[in-house]
Amino acid sequence: MRLILLGPPGAGKGTQSQRLVDKHGIVQLSTGDMLRAAVAAGTPVGLKAKSIMEAGQLVPDDVVVAIIADRIGQPDARKGFVLDGFPRTVPQAEALDKLLAERGLKLDAVIELKVDEGILIKRIETRVAEMTARGEKVRSDDKPEVLKGRLDAYRAQTAPLAGYYDAKGMLRSVDGMAPVDQVTAALDGILKPSSAV
């Protein structure tokens, strides 16, 4: 099973991806997590990405496309994957189409988590408060002033992907404002018919 979850920061992509991983034995490929790991490890990619991420902007397409190209070829991704945070621009989506076609792979679904922006800011504030309470390090780009930039980047560069996949007849939407379990149930409902094939 190969899926894309689309949605703005705080839409719940990470939470739902983790559930899909547990249920379907696929891997979660989060470019945000991979980039944060590269930053922490101080790799050349990390050095390039650090200041861009801290400013809430998007890392160049060629950088993330190279990361994903490498990752989807690894053995643990053979059973499938859920892409979380990638693609984030139309050129990234086009590059992904090409990568999959070269490998003879197809996407099963592109699912958009639809959410209200006002609520997103609240959700991320809650995430920050919970992480702080657990003594975990808070993401530097979860600061309110950076978050606004991330939402702007989403609106300008990532939201057009819904139209891109809709034009291909691949887009499905779920209400990301519903309680977490209800969102999971909605995803299950979408995925059942295709996984039975």
* 180: CB partners within 8 A, 6+ apart: 12, 15, 16
- Residue number, 9 or 80, with CB nearest to ligand ADP: 9
Distance of CA 160 to the CA centre of its chain: 15
- Residue number, 150 or 172, with CB nearest to ligand ADP: 150
- Residue number, 58 or 187, with CB nearest to ligand ADP: 58
Select the residue whose beta carbon is closest to ligand ADP and give its number.
32
- The residue ranges that bind ligand ADP (CB under 6 A) are 9, 31-32, 35, 52-53, 56-59, 64, 85-86, 88, 92, 141, 150
Element (H, E) at 172: strand 171-175
> To the nearest whole angstrom, how small is the minimum distance from the Cβ of residue 196 to ligand ADP?
31
Cα–Cα–Cα angle for 82, 67, 160, nearest 5°? 60
> To the nearest whole angstrom, how small is the minimum distance from the Cβ of residue 163 to ligand ADP?
18
- By annotation, the residues acting in catalysis are 13, 88, 127, 139, 150
Distance of CA 188 to the CA centre of its chain: 18
